[in-house]
A = this chain, B = another copy of it.
Amino acid sequence: MASALQIDRLLVIGVGLIGGSVALALKAAGVVREIVGAGRSVENLEKAVQLGVVDRFTQNFAEEVSTSTVILISTPVLSTDAIIRKIADEDYHNALITDAGSVKGGIVESAERYLSADYRGFVAAHPIAGREHSGVTAASADLYQGKRTIVTPSRQSGPRAIEFVKQFWCATGARVSEMDAATHDELVSASSHLPHLVAFGLVNYIANHARGKECFDLAAAGFYDFTRIASSDPTMWRDISLANAAAVTRELRGYIANLESIAEKISNGEGDSLKEVMDIAKVSRDFYLDRWMK
Does A186 contact B211, Cβ atoms closer than 8 Å? Answer: yes
Chain A, residues 83-114, CB within 8 Å of chain B (1/0): the string is 00000000000000000000000000000000
Given contacts A238-B271, A266-B242, A275-B235, contact A289 B224 (CB under 8 A): yes
Q: What distance in Å separates the Cβ of A187 from its nearest Cβ neighbour in chain B?
A: 5
What is the 8 Å Cβ interface bit string for chain A, positions 239-259, against chain B (1 contact, 0 not)? Answer: 001100100110011111011
**Which B residue sits closest to A146, measured CB to CB?**
B221
Cβ A280 vs Cβ B208 within 8 A: yes
Residues of A in contact, count (CB < 8 Å): 87
Copies of this chain held together in the complex: 2
Closest to A255 in B: B205
Knowing A190-B211, A245-B266, A266-B249, say if A218 contacts B284 (CB, 8 Å): no
- The answer to whether B220 touches A147, judged by C-beta atoms less than 8 angstroms apart, is yes
Complex contact B237–A214 (CB within 8 A): no
Residue pairs across A and B with Cβ atoms less than 8 A apart, 19 shown, are A130-B222, A147-B221, A186-B211, A187-B218, A191-B206, A192-B218, A194-B202, A195-B226, A201-B255, A202-B281, A203-B280, A204-B258, A209-B254, A212-B284, A224-B285, A234-B275, A238-B275, A252-B262, A253-B263
